[in-house]
Amino acid sequence: MISSKLPKMFYGGDYNPEQWDHETHLEDLRMFKLAGIDIATINVFSWALIQPDEVTYRFEELDQLINSLYENGVYVCLATSTAAHPAWMAKKYPDVLRVDADGRKRKFGGRHNSCPNSPTYRKYSEKIADKLAERYKDHPAVLVWHISNEYGGDCYCDNCEKAFRVYLKERYKTLDQLNQAWNTNFWGHTFYDWDEIVLPSNLSEHWGNNNSTFQGISLDYSRFNSDSMLDCYRLEYDVIKKHVPDSVVTTNLMGFFKQLDYFKWAKYMDIISWDSYPGLATPFSFTAMAHDLMRGLKDGQPFMLMEQTPSQQNWQPYNSLKRPGVMRLWSYQTIAHGADTVMFFQLRRSIGACEKYHGAVIEHVGHENTRVFREVAQLGKELQLLGDKTLDATVESKVAIVFDWDNWWAIEKSSGPTVALNYVDQIHKYYAAFFRRNIQVDIVSVDTDLSKYDIVLAPVLYMVKPGFAAKLEKFVEAGGTFLTTFFSGIVNESDLVTTGGYPGELRKLLGIWVEEIDALLPEQKNSIVLKDTYGDLQGKYECGMLCDLLHSEGAEVIAEYGDDFYQGMPVVTRNTFGQGEAWYVASDPEERFLDGLLGQLAAAKNIHPLLETPDGVEVSARTKDGKQYLFVMNHNATTQSYELGNGKAQDLLTDRELSGSVEIEGRGVQLLEMK
């Protein structure tokens, strides 16, 4: 439970009354009661209002706001306001302004325009967080502390370059070790002095977003950039903890966000929170996977949905409305995958600047007689009735997929073998095969204890970090099933190729040797031909993008290529290792093949669907005090039916008892307590 003061699912969102007059605020409070809103995130972008100059701090309006909310039954998620520095700071201390990859120094404007290695920014952001924590440490309204907002971006200024050299000294200790890790004998890059090292930008090693002449340098910059922003976060985190040791401190993450290694950030967050903004065409399996990543950041602990829109966004190319029922459906999907809050951006639409067309609980018309408000109020009422039933409930999975930011950075900065390889898309492809079967999956890091899982997948495990191959061997030896794919086991943590044959450190576990890697054009395809029937798999399936040309070194050949000069070479292998088995899929297969293969792997481990449902009807489960709660969610616009089998269930949202054949309306949700 996030706070015993509010022993239910938090329901609310971002609130910016500083953009409005007092009468509007009073009207907001009236409508918050109607909607069941019980928490507001405030002070996210109020730094300039609180601190008009270097020495003056004005907290009176914030005092009044917090008191007003609390007196009207609304608790507070208090932000530190440091996501946008004041204009006076940029004018007086230009070191706070970022420099872009082309060497151009920004001017004041936008947000996230602060250099994370600016001494000025660090000084004043820490100071305002300190003052806020000291002032509101005992206020009963404050349940959560929210640092900055949606960290991101990069900087290539002189302060960052100096800090990068310090970071490298701490990482490598000597220039000899750095030169070895970066392979600087290539293209005459040997460094003899730390000050010779420059940031990898479009002025040095980079061209465009995903191209680098020295991947080792670029990889270390990605690590450094993520750590630099984490250092800023930790400065504020520490001063809040100094005043409020038992506080709940977080910052809002953004799912599969490439620039920041969220597994590393999670170590310094008391609870994970994130902002979920799928588009109308985003596969609902991808949204589920993002929720599972957020849950996996802290080994399965419940997380906060800090932001979602109640209706539409404003920053996508086409900002479609959420159709009737979709906001409620997607809110319950979040809860089903581990959220203990449902919160919106924003509670009232602003009237100016770039977010005036971003959806809100209270629309520009300013009253409650709107479709969006009615849907929000309906959900608010349901969450009141649910109370604490699902709070702290866990999601129990026997399948895990390994995800690693270093691997992501390294793959997509790689010069070859294909521009078509997208790491997150490959992760999703394997995740979706389980999702379609209503089999739950944890998204885990290379540091996660794998012993509780029966099946572990690591698609495109290009980079094998120290000790991870041995960890996988131990997992399989003890009876686990492991699967990886093409372009795996290629490099170490410095992005240096492991010589002696691909897949490097995984070669023993997989029982194969990859001799060559063929990159196919988008219009080219090869085929996977099963040697024998395997479960529901038989015959021929399409594959493409990359094709590893491999030889078995003890692994059983399950399928062979059907075309080209490597026709007849293995494409799918299974290697018995100890009590378990290790699988290798050497190309990018069609969806039909993955459904069959992963379904068979699950069945072999007695991992069964939570329920058998039609396409588009998702089932997820949370467990608490020995009780299992099934969330049945119909992503289709039409009514669907499914079988409960011999069991009976109580739908907690309607208080109906269900059994046998059950219907669920289009975009409907059922929350089943199994009897």
Which residues, other chains included, contact 627 with Cβ-Cβ below 8 Å and sequence gap of 6+? 673, 674
What gap in Å lies between CA 509 and CA 430, rounded to an integer? Answer: 21
To 10 degrees, what angle do helices 284-296 and 326-336 make?
40
Classify residue 310 as left (phi > 0), alpha (psi -120 to 50) or beta: alpha
Q: Is 375 in the active site?
A: no
Q: Quick one: pLDDT band at residue 112, thresholds 50, 70, 90?
A: confident
DSSP state of 626: T
User: pLDDT tens-digit profile of 404-417?
Assistant: 999 999 999 999 89
Calculate mean pLDDT across residues 368-384: 98
What gap in Å lies between CA 173 and CA 479, rounded to an integer? Answer: 40
User: pLDDT tens-digit profile of 173-198?
Assistant: 999 999 999 999 999 999 999 999 99
Instruction: Identify the active-site residue in 150, 236, 363, 473.
Output: 150
Q: What is the pTM of this model?
A: 0.97
Q: Is 307 in the active site?
A: yes
Which of 81, 111, 84 is CA-nearest to residue 14? 81
Q: CB-based burial of residue 457 (10 Å sphere; 0-12 exposed, 13-18 middle, 19+ buried)?
A: buried
Give the helix ranges, DSSP H, for 195-325: 215-243, 262-266, 284-296
The pLDDT of residue 111 is: 86
Count CB atoms within 10 A of the CB of residue 270: 18
Strands 341-344 and 10-14: parallel
187 is known to lie in a ligand binding site: no
Calculate mean pLDDT across residues 615-643: 97
Which of 66, 409, 447 is CA-nearest to residue 260? 409
Which residues, other chains included, contact 159 with Cβ-Cβ below 8 Å and sequence gap of 6+? 95, 115, 117, 118, 119
DSSP E strands, 304-382: 304-307, 341-344
Average pLDDT, the chain: 97
Here the tokens at position 505 are 């450190």
Count CB atoms within 10 A of the CB of residue 531: 12
Name the CATH superfamily housing domain 617-674. Golgi alpha-mannosidase II (2.60.40.1180)
Beta bridge partners, 569, equal: none
Q: Which fold does the domain 399-605 belong to in CATH?
A: Rossmann fold (3.40.50)
Q: Where are the domains of the chain?
A: 10-156+228-390, 158-218, 399-605, 617-674
What gap in Å lies between CA 339 and CA 13, rounded to an integer? Answer: 14
User: pLDDT tens-digit profile of 502-560?
Assistant: 999 999 999 999 999 999 999 999 999 999 999 889 999 999 999 999 999 999 999 99
Instruction: Identify the active-site residue in 236, 307, 363, 382.
Output: 307
Here the tokens at position 120 are 């000025």
Classify residue 81 as left (phi > 0), alpha (psi -120 to 50) or beta: left
- Our CA angle for 495, 457, 505, nearest 5°, is 40
To 10 degrees, what angle do helices 22-35 and 371-386 make?
60
- What is the chain's length? 675
Residue pair 120/98 in contact by the 8 Å Cβ criterion:
no
405 is known to lie in a ligand binding site: no
Which residues, other chains included, contact 282 with Cβ-Cβ below 8 Å and sequence gap of 6+? none
Alpha-carbon separation of residue 237 from 44, 84, 130, 232, 233 (angstroms): 15, 17, 9, 9, 6
To 10 degrees, what angle do helices 215-243 and 175-182 make?
120
Residue with tokens 């020295």: 214
Q: Which fold does the domain 10-156+228-390 belong to in CATH?
A: TIM Barrel (3.20.20)
What gap in Å lies between CA 410 and CA 145, rounded to an integer? Answer: 34
543 is known to lie in a ligand binding site: no
DSSP state of 492: -
Q: CB-based burial of residue 523 (10 Å sphere; 0-12 exposed, 13-18 middle, 19+ buried)?
A: exposed
User: pLDDT tens-digit profile of 237-293?
Assistant: 999 999 999 999 999 999 999 999 999 999 999 999 999 999 989 999 999 999 999
Strands 627-634 and 656-664: unpaired
Residue pair 596/540 in contact by the 8 Å Cβ criterion:
no
User: pLDDT tens-digit profile of 26-71?
Assistant: 999 999 999 999 999 999 999 999 999 999 999 999 999 999 999 9
77 is known to lie in a ligand binding site: no
547 is known to lie in a ligand binding site: no
Residue pair 439/609 in contact by the 8 Å Cβ criterion:
yes
Residue pair 219/495 in contact by the 8 Å Cβ criterion:
yes
- Our CA angle for 177, 183, 187, nearest 5°, is 135
155 is known to lie in a ligand binding site: yes
